[in-house]
Amino acid sequence: MSTPTRLLALALSIGTFSLLTIPSVAARPMPMGPMHAPSRPLPWAPIPMLMPIVWHRAVTLRLTPSQENSLLKWRHDQMRKWSASRKKVMQDSLALREALLNGKPESALGAFVAAVQRDQARMLDVEIDQVEYLHRLLSPQQWRHLIALYRFQMMRMMHMGWHRGPGGR
């Protein structure tokens, strides 16, 4: 697999994972630890990861109760869909990895690569649907505010660097 394909696969995996690990709007504190760290969007990701910003900035965006309820319902539906397809995505990815580790010839990798690419295409569709859903849900003012928050986050990440430790080091 080429490097751009691997980067796209990583970006899609992280994006989908962040979609499913965001806390609810209901003011529940975010758990901390390595498995619960807030995901940061990749600056080169093709799809902007807006949903985590919406969840974390619900008060700033002034979401209405009906918008919050719609987001909670949407999240529940997405998690149900993801849990149904997660097993297949994992099986396809692990099968490709095992084939590569076992030194299978390139001609034998085709089916594995095709399955992983189908999974990635489905994840890409889910991420696009997420952005379109938010665009429909939010008012024009809320959408502009969300995009400003996203652009600020991207600018800050690009300016400050990706891997900054405590104290900005």
C-alpha span between 124 and 117 (Å, rounded): 10
- Angle between helix axes 106-137 and 3-21 (nearest 10 degrees) is 40
Question: What is the reported pLDDT for 4?
Answer: 53
Backbone angles phi, psi at 34, to 5 degrees: -60, -30
Q: What is the pLDDT of residues 142-157, one digit of tens each?
A: 999 999 999 988 888 7
Sequence-distant (6+) residues with CB within 8 A of 106 are none
Query: In angstroms, how far apart are the furthest CA atoms of the chain?
Result: 56
Q: Is the pLDDT of residue 127 over 60?
A: yes
Q: Give the sign of the dihedral formed by CA 143, CA 145, CA 146, CA 148.
A: positive
Reference 47, options 141, 150, 137; nearest CA is 150
| pTM exceeds 0.85, yes or no | no
Q: Where are the domains of the chain?
A: 3-159
* The most confident of 11-25, 40-54, 74-88, 98-112, by mean pLDDT: 98-112
Question: What is the reported pLDDT for 31?
Answer: 38
Question: What is the reported pLDDT for 15?
Answer: 52
Q: Is the pLDDT of residue 30 over 80?
A: no
